[in-house]
Amino acid sequence: MTDDLAYNAGLGNAFETEALPGALPRGQNSPRKVPYGLFTEQINGTGFTVHRAENQRTWMYRLRPQILDRAYRERPVGRFVADFSEAVQSPQVLRFRPRSMPATPTDFLAGLTTWAGAGGPSFRKGAAIHLYACNADMVDTAFCNIDGDLLLVPERGRLHVRTELGRLNVGPGEIVVLPRGIRFQVLLPDGAARGYVAELFDGHFQLPERGPVGANGLADARHFLFPVADFEDDPRPWTVVVRQGGRLWEVEAPACPFDVVAWHGNYAPFKYDLDRFNSLGSVSFDHADPSILTVLTSPMDTRGRNAIDVAVFHGRWDVAEHTFRPPFFHRNSAIEFNGVVRSPSATGPWQPGAFSWTPYLAPHGVSNRTYEDVVTASNAEADAPERLPDSSLWIQFESTYLLGVMPWAFDDPDRDGAYLESFRDYRPHAKVP
């Protein structure tokens, strides 16, 4: 995707950036007199006393303080929720056609629908998965999610994400992470957009440990891009919407909140091009676990359980010999949400925008037709190297949490009722006495 914006690069780096020369104070963070008469504000993404390597915070130097002299009023939440008391813990695997686009003007915030979740923001534990479909810009409106970090995966249409710390252009094939507490606005350069969202109520997204893989492979920190300072002195009233404790609140601010002239720190939104991911796999026999395709993760404990793993499946070589090449039949100790971003076919059950759901430890695998095609192929055909096309790109959210599906999903007209038919009539090949 062509992108004419400037960026900082490197996940985990501490950046400093200024839109006006000399706007960033030197030698200290909060001088009595800030250059240009700016106001100083710090945002902390972690507790004060965490290990230095885990500490996240950013100092901002802005035209106006964000504290307001007026009261918030509550706003309807619609189907963008953080209360999962009615979520259904069903063992049923599901598949959905691409979500229908709205028939009336709908901005990003109004176009968010919660798909599944567990836990909640009040106790800072759990995670959620949402979908978005929108066709209008957020006009003079900024959104601030106090509840969790949001990871957006555009499937259709580009997003121009304007944040307090600068701007990011994000299109299909990329992801963007918006940390909790950072105010942002979503504009739609293509007029319509659709995609998937993962929300993390505790911790932050980070690179997975490489372990025996070594120093290289998977996602490289230098390919993660962060905004540079970009401000506007706009004294017109703006609406600021805040999500806290699963509720939406709004207030009319006296001016545009995107007025940060300079900032430094390591707590900031960022984006990543999934095509830059260096996929690893087997070069002899059998499948490696899908954990080697993890882009970002959020560890939950020391037993290998993660709040959310974000994995990518894109163009790559598959070369394993005398091996059942598709994913074998399996039951994983995690939920799986698989979404199609790109597909060689614009039609059929796995077109862009389609997605599937596999509950915790639910049996799943390939269709009976695919199974027959694989096991009846000749050895030469089955062992030939195969190039998975670059026109295919899927994302996967995995979570150790028992995410429940929201009740409105089961009656959604986009639910694919024919999905289970593909698992009928497996023909036994075993020859036993």
| CA separation, residue 213 to residues 187, 216, 272 (Å) | 39, 7, 21
- The residue written with tokens 């929300």 in the block is 199
**Burial, 26: exposed, middle or buried (Cβ in 10 Å; 0-12, 13-18, 19+)?**
exposed
413: left (phi over 0), alpha (psi -120 to 50) or beta: alpha
- The residue written with tokens 């676990």 in the block is 289
List helix spans (H) across 32-142: none
**Burial, 289: exposed, middle or buried (Cβ in 10 Å; 0-12, 13-18, 19+)?**
exposed
Per-residue exposure over 29-67, b if at least 16 CB sit within 10 Å of its own CB, e if not: eeeeebbeebbebebebeeeeeeeeebbbbbbbbbbebe
Q: Is 287 a catalytic residue?
A: yes
The residue type found at 310 is: V
Q: Which of 329, 300, 312, 331 is nearest to 401 (CA)?
A: 300
> Quick one: DSSP state of residue 206?
B
Residue in 287, 330, 364, 429 annotated catalytic: 287
The answer to whether 196 and 355 have CB atoms below 8 angstroms apart is yes
Reported as half-sphere exposure (CB side, CA atoms, 13 A), residue 61 has a value of: 28
Phi, psi (deg, nearest 5) at residue 65:
-70, 155
> Quick one: DSSP state of residue 111?
T
* Residues marked as catalytic: 287
